[in-house]
Amino acid sequence: MKNEVKDILMQNHLSITGSRLKILEFFLEHESAVSHADIEKNTGESFDRVTVYRTLQTFVEKGIIHLIPTTDNSIKYALCKNDCAPGHHHDNHVHFICDACSKTICLDEVNIPSVKLPKGFTPQHAEMVVTGICGDCK
Amino acid sequence: MKNEVKDILMQNHLSITGSRLKILEFFLEHESAVSHADIEKNTGESFDRVTVYRTLQTFVEKGIIHLIPTTDNSIKYALCKNDCAPGHHHDNHVHFICDACSKTICLDEVNIPSVKLPKGFTPQHAEMVVTGICGDCK
DNA sequence: AGTATATTTGCAACAATGATGCATTAATAT
DNA sequence: ATATTAATGCATCATTGTTGCAAATATACT
């Protein structure tokens, strides 16, 4: 596990630091999406809030994690499982938010369907979020 | 215009107050989606921030406006053009965010396609946001 | 129209979230 | 092992959103 975490950092030309190791490890341990607050609470609150923010920003820039859109204003992050390069996220999968346990899950197998837009609109990227009940809660 | 605004409030059993009139008028004047900050800036900053929050909450509850999901944590609202009843939003349309002018537009004619979810997941509601270039910016 | 009741508003205070500048500390490259 | 570069922690500040309560306003009723 530790090695996998290190490898990801090195592949992305990031220096190996305690906070990056712990935060990235936290992502690998959780299949569901993660909020800033989750990280602060569950990494032993060993680093500064600012460090967590900056680490998350760095990971997003490098394409290690991606943002998930929600209707409320909570920001959630999840690991990019596909081949995301810096600045080029290829995660065109659907996200699922469970109404019961409020977990956010990447449905990596479910692609976002394309839609026909009205005249004049040029699409560039699409996001899709489905809410409902997940397998664990039913 | 004033009458239309009043009618909407009365139809939703809301008392007619200055802030509700102005804020609802602001929605009717703007075809694109609107943020809390937009309202604070453009209604002459005549009422308290708290009033704006509470008015927006009320409008959402009554089904007059709906929330639009975004990848950043900015909350945007737009008028419900379909037949939304209190607690029962029927807006299953796609939203478009322009990368150039960053306007958020309801594509009322474009329905959100349904997707097949993995076993165990029960869908309840879906949101879809497309980014790109809008007609005005191309 | 005038008054009572219910609702809404504004204010104060607070909590959470996020950003920035700078000195200190730690990680990489030589 | 050390110089250089990058990351961290701290202090501080801005923004965003919430809550309780008193004052003001809107509706209902006579």
pLDDT of the residue at A1: 57
Mean pLDDT value across chain A: 88
Nearest to A96 by CA among A108, A83, A88, A87: A108
Amino acid sitting at position B66:
H
pLDDT digits (tens, 9 = 90+) for A29-75: 988 899 998 998 877 667 899 999 999 999 999 999 999 888 777 88
Per-residue pLDDT tens for B44-101?
667 899 999 999 999 999 999 999 888 777 789 999 876 566 556 667 899 999 988 8
Residue A20 backbone phi and psi in degrees, to 5: -65, -40
The pLDDT score that the predictor gives to residue A123 is 96
A→B contacts (Cβ < 8 Å), by residue, are 67-75, 94, 96, 99, 107, 109-110, 112-113, 115-135, 138
pLDDT over 90 at A2, yes or no:
no
Q: Look at strands A34-35 and B104-111 and give their pairing.
A: unpaired
| DSSP string computed for A11-27 | HTT----HHHHHHHHHH
* CA distances, B19 to each of A127, B48, B61, B64 (Å): 34, 9, 17, 15
The length of chain B is 138
- In the structure, what pLDDT confidence band is assigned to residue A14 with cuts at 50, 70 and 90? very high
pLDDT of residue B117: 97
The mean per-residue pLDDT over the stretch B35-50 comes to 85
Check whether A135 has a pLDDT greater than 90. yes
Strand partners, A85: A88
Question: Of the given ranges (A34-43, A82-91, A96-105, B15-24), which has the lowest mean pLDDT?
Answer: A82-91
Task: Please name the residue whose C-alpha is nearest to the C1' of nucleotide D18.
Answer: B50
* pLDDT score, position A31: 80
- The pTM (predicted TM-score) of the whole model is 0.85
The answer to which of B11-15, B54-58, B79-83, B134-138 has the lowest mean pLDDT is B79-83
Cα gap A91→B82, rounded to integer Å: 32
**pLDDT score of A32:** 86
CB contact under 8 A, A124 and B135: no
Which of A119, A125, A128 comes nearest B126 by C-beta? A128
Tell me: pLDDT of A90 over 70.
no
pLDDT at residue A44, as a whole number: 63
Give the helix ranges, DSSP H, for B12-126.
Answer: 18-29, 36-42, 49-62
The answer to whether A79 touches A65, Cβ cutoff 8 Å, is yes
- Give dist(CA A58, CA B39) in Å, integer: 33
Amino acid (1-letter code) at residue B90: H
Place of tokens 């809301």: B14
Residue B132 has what pLDDT? 94
Q: Are the beta carbons of B75 and A74 separated by less than 8 Å?
A: no
> What would the two tokens of residue B108 be?
């009322």
Strands (E), A1-103: 34-35, 65-68, 76-79, 93-98
